[in-house]
């Protein structure tokens, strides 16, 4: 065989192997669990003291630990903070590489609004098992089981809210698209969630690494299908919201460059029920609460008021 012919045959094989290796690296970078919570950086670092005071508040409450055996044999965990006598409850979806406890500021916020609070650790996070992160796709089924558990704990006359930020925002929107969602779910509030995982990964690869979608995202999707059983393209949050008729409030930072701001309006337009969109001026990713907690609470309270019974004072 001539040398030129040999090079012509082997070069595509080398390039293909190299591309697959790069796709594997990207997949592990994005999907592989880590056993620590990344430190806040950039603008978010300025809120560290306030954040840790909220964590201290939650940890000083009377917390219960709930366990769940998932439909596919995993074990996941959640913190349950019950508000005595309340029929309101919220499940709070955490962000990428966070945990339930990292949502302590939101837990405190909703507790003060009269809600019992469930803070799950999603698969691949915290004390829940799983080697890889499913970006809400498998978690959505776990959340359905958590919601039914909340109904069992509080009774069939309870009133439930779905809330999440970033990956957690996308997760609760995926849950909202499920036909088996308990009727006790009255509304959804999502903050800075992506409109599709394919779109989010494509955006971040271009922004962070100057890499094109093709062929890396399709190859990563193939790897994920082999490991977690679903394709990246299936994690379509906007498509799930097109099945949703419950009230939806979409919150998104107007200066978000991690989950780009335009994804918020995409999710807002997709939903079929009553809805509102709040683009928070000057807010970067997941910063909307920290800029003005009082305004954040006021927007949520105003939106959900028509769909929840008034809080009865204990006095």
Domain boundaries, the chain: 43-195+236-304, 197-234
What separation in angstroms does the CA of 172 have from each of 38, 246, 259? 23, 12, 16
Give 70's contacts (C-beta < 8 A, 6+ positions apart): 76, 123, 138, 141, 142, 145
- Note the pLDDT tens digit of each residue in 234-284: 999 999 999 999 999 999 999 999 999 999 999 999 999 999 999 999 999
Residue pointed to by tokens 């596919």: 72
Q: Is it the case that residue 200 has pLDDT exceeding 50?
A: yes
**Cβ 263 vs Cβ 199: under 8 Å:** yes
| pLDDT confidence of residue 16 | 61
Fold for domain 43-195+236-304? Answer: Rossmann fold (3.40.50)
Going by pLDDT thresholds of 50, 70 and 90, the confidence category of residue 20 is confident
Alpha helix ranges (H) inside 134-282: 139-154, 167-176, 197-204, 216-228, 237-241, 263-270
Tokens of 51: 């954040």
Nearest to 27 by CA among 271, 224, 232: 224
The pTM (predicted TM-score) of the whole model is 0.93
């Amino acid at each position: 065989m001539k040398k030129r012919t040999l090079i012509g045959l082997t070069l595509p094989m080398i390039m293909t192997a190299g591309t697959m290796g790069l796709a594997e690296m990207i997949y592990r970078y994005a999907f592989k669990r880590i056993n620590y919570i990344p430190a806040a950086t950039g603008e978010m670092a300025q809120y560290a003291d306030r954040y840790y005071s909220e964590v201290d508040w939650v940890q000083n409450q009377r917390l219960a630990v709930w366990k769940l055996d998932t439909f596919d044999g995993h074990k996941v965990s959640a913190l349950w903070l019950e508000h005595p006598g309340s029929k309101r409850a919220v499940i709070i979806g955490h962000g990428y590489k966070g945990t339930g406890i990292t949502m302590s500021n939101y837990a405190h916020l909703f507790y003060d609004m009269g809600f019992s609070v469930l803070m799950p650790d999603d698969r691949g996070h915290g004390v829940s098992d799983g080697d890889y992160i499913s970006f809400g796709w498998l978690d959505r089924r776990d959340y359905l089981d958590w919601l039914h558990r909340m109904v069992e704990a509080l009774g069939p006359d309870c009133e439930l809210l779905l809330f999440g930020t970033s990956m957690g925002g996308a997760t609760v929107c995926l849950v909202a698209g499920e036909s088996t969602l308990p009727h006790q779910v009255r509304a959804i509030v999502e903050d800075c969630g992506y409109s599709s995982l394919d779109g989010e990964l494509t955006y971040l690869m271009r922004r962070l690494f100057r890499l094109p979608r093709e062929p890396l995202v399709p190859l990563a999707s193939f790897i994920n299908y082999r490991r977690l059983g679903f394709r990246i393209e299936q994690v379509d949050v906007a498509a799930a919201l097109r099945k949703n008729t419950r009230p939806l409030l979409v919150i998104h930072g107007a200066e978000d460059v991690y989950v780009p701001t335009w994804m918020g309006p995409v999710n807002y337009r997709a939903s079929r029920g009553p809805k509102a969109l709040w683009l928070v001026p000057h807010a970067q990713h997941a910063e909307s609460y920290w800029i003005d907690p009082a305004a954040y609470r006021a927007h949520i309270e105003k939106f959900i008021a028509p769909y929840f019974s008034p809080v009865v004072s204990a006095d």
